[in-house]
Each structure stands twice: as C-alpha cells, then as structure tokens.
C-alpha cells in the first residue's frame, strides 16, 4: 500500500512538471524571397493543402521580407507558389527560425533555396518531384539586379521545376516542431520511477 501511494505521488508530480514544461514559446519564421516573375507564400499544416497566405509580390527585381509566427508543437509546410509570365523563371530565397522549437527539413534553423530541401509540382499542392537549379544569386540573367536581403554569398540557388516550360509551379518544404528536451527527460524520469516502484512492490 505504501509503495502504491508513493508511486501515485511520484507519477502525479512528474506528469505535472511535464505539462508545465510542454508550454514552449512560438517560433518566428523570417523569409527573404523573390520569384521571377510573381509569387505567393503560404503556411500549411497539410502538404497537400495550400494553407494561409503570409506574403506575395509581383516584382522580382528585389527580394521582399516577410515574417510569420509558428505555433509551438505544430508541424508546418512552407509553400511557395511561383508564376512565370514570360522569359526566364526562378525562385530564390533564404529563410530562418528564431528558436530551436522548430527546424527546417535540413534539421537546422536556416534554409536556402536548393535542389535538396525543396520539392516542386506543376499541377498543384501534391505530386511533388525534383527541383532544377539555375545557379546562385549571381547567375545569368539575374546577376545585374540587387537583392539586399539575399546576400550573394549565401549560396541560395535559383530553382524551378525540371520542366522549364512550366509557368505555374508549387514549391514545398517541411518545418517540424521539436519536443523540448527537458520535457522528454522528465517523462523518462517518470517512467523510471514507475518501473522502480513496480520492482519494489514485487520484491
């Protein structure tokens, strides 16, 4: 009986601490984006759904900066809809997160446009395939223009669909919520206490 009461007290206290520690701060996503020629940026919790509009622009000569708040504990997909109205086409950007509560698909808090971490579709949100690179921010024909928010040394690449005739494309990358390490540690401690109390009772 004594061990049973101790076990309940221990588990109750540990789970209360877990509940308190699970309340973590939201992350702020910052993006610097340009698309030749137009774009819309969305945040979605479903990779096959468009999501909520957070930024748009139709002037590719300079990059635009946007911010968006990510709810703690929620996974997201960053969606960029690119439109080419003639001539050359490409999507260029760099992105960052202000906390370790979320990470990009490359498992860090910074992400550039590249052919590894982004998928693209020409038919809508879903049925994603591989992207194609036209080179970094200094590549022809864009090198003559200035984009102060996207440093030429950042190694961000101009990307598009492998089908370079596509005039409407849909880019996607994942942003994953990260459990707080302290929460996981307390949860492990609670399990250890439970196992210990069981072994004492059986002894």
Question: What Cα–Cα distance (Å) separates residue 50 from each residue in 96, 105, 106, 124, 176?
Answer: 21, 18, 22, 9, 17
Write out the chain's pLDDT in tens, 203 residues: 554 544 554 445 444 444 444 455 799 999 999 999 999 999 999 999 999 999 999 988 888 999 999 999 999 999 999 999 998 999 999 999 999 999 999 999 999 999 999 999 999 999 999 999 999 888 888 876 667 667 666 789 999 999 999 999 999 999 999 987 654 555 555 555 545 455 555 55
Find, among 119, 150, 125, 120, the residue nearest to 30 by Cα.
150
Q: Whole-prediction pTM value?
A: 0.79
């Amino acid at each position: 009986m004594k061990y049973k009461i101790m076990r309940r007290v221990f588990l109750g206290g540990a789970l209360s601490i877990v509940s308190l520690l699970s309340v973590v701060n939201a992350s702020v996503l910052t993006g610097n984006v340009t698309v030749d020629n137009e774009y819309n940026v969305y945040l979605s919790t479903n990779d096959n759904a468009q999501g909520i509009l957070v930024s748009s622009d139709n002037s590719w000569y300079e990059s635009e900066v946007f911010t968006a708040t990510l709810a703690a504990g929620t996974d997201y997909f960053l969606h960029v809809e690119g439109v080419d109205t003639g001539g050359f086409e490409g999507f260029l950007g760099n992105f960052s997160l202000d906390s370790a509560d979320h990470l990009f698909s490359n498992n860090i808090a910074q992400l550039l446009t590249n052919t590894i971490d982004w998928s693209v579709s020409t038919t809508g949100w879903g049925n994603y395939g591989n992207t194609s690179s036209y080179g970094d921010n200094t590549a022809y024909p864009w090198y003559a223009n200035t984009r102060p928010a996207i440093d030429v040394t950042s190694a961000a690449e101009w990307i598009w669909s492998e089908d370079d005739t596509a005039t409407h494309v849909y880019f996607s990358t994942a942003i994953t919520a990260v459990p707080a390490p302290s929460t996981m540690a307390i949860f492990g401690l609670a399990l250890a206490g439970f196992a210990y109390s069981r072994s004492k009772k059986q002894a």
